[in-house]
Structure 1
């Protein structure tokens, strides 16, 4: 047991708490911009990332229902906050708190893509969300995504929270995470 835990910890990438990971995609999820920290952490070059689908960094431990929810919200032009486990090119992983939002053309005001602003996920958020994600993934594997979605709904009902309330609560120690993400959003010019 200890050896397995130790080996898993060895594969985790420790993120700089003060550096954001930024990316922008088109409406289909193809990467159009990525900052240098994204390249460094993911292990992919800018050339490999640009034009690739953003799921190039998707970790197999992530339940599909989280991304289904994300796409549903973005298509309705609603932002979404999520704790996400990503995978680097060499197979290591890293946990991030991500604010996904729609980006509009500055003049025409039409949707033109999505912005993802990430920072290191708080340790307590990872501890809280990991059992939920494992359960959702188990349900998806054995019963399907609809059942996984139903489980998530029932879980949130028991918590007496919306998805947004749940995520903000687990990642937002005294508002610090949200202040950081919104501060990065204001600085992100393209």
Structure 2
């Protein structure tokens, strides 16, 4: 039986200039992860390889963000997103994720490559506020309500999600 990880308020940090790298197959299962990812996640390499990347998904993350992420990736486009991850010990860490499809010689997607950097504290504070609002909408009315809230927010700003991410 899989143990449910209970989040706590302990935040982990990594240094400016350090990169968290992982690669997944087309189903989102981890096929490569670098040492910093292993260290921050608290899992061993063996525990990570072959597992869905959402093994580190924090429950504070609104599902609509991952919906946007997969929409972009499935249309063979890159995406940049702020993501709060959950470590094996219940602690968390924020990343600025740059995710792109990997292609074979025929232009077919064979997996995904993700490079994550340490986000600025001010950016996390801004995106965390929005994510909390999206999560409230999700809890009240499902992912559709959260998507509407996000779309309305972006429309008032006159920008896409990625433009928002790059602006903060």
Indicate the residue corresponding to 1:56 in structure 2.
Answer: 55
Question: 1:45 aligned to 2:44?
Answer: yes
Which residue matches 1:85? Answer: 84
Question: Structure 2 matches for 1:79-158, cutoff 5 A?
Answer: 79-105=78-104, 107-158=105-156
Q: Tell me how far apart the structure 1 counterparts of residues 106 and 127 of structure 2 sit (CA, whole Å).
A: 39
Q: Which ranges in structure 2 are unaligned for 5 or more consecutive residues?
A: 1-7
Structure 1: tracts of 5 or more residues without a match = 1-6, 171-190
Alignment-derived partner of residue 164 in structure 2: 166
Q: Which has the higher contact order (CA 8 A, sep 6+)?
A: 2
Equivalent position of 2:28 in the other structure: 29
* TM-score, with structure 1 as normaliser: 0.82
> Scaled by the length of structure 2, what TM-score is found?
0.93
Determine the C-alpha separation between the residues in 1 that align with 2:101 and 2:147.
Answer: 23
SS, match of residue 134 in structure 1: helix
In the aligned structure 2, how far is the partner of 1:17 from the partner of 1:140?
A: 33
| CA RMSD of superposed structures (Å) | 1.0
Structure number with bigger Rg: 1
Q: In the aligned structure 2, how far is the partner of 1:97 from the partner of 1:91? A: 20
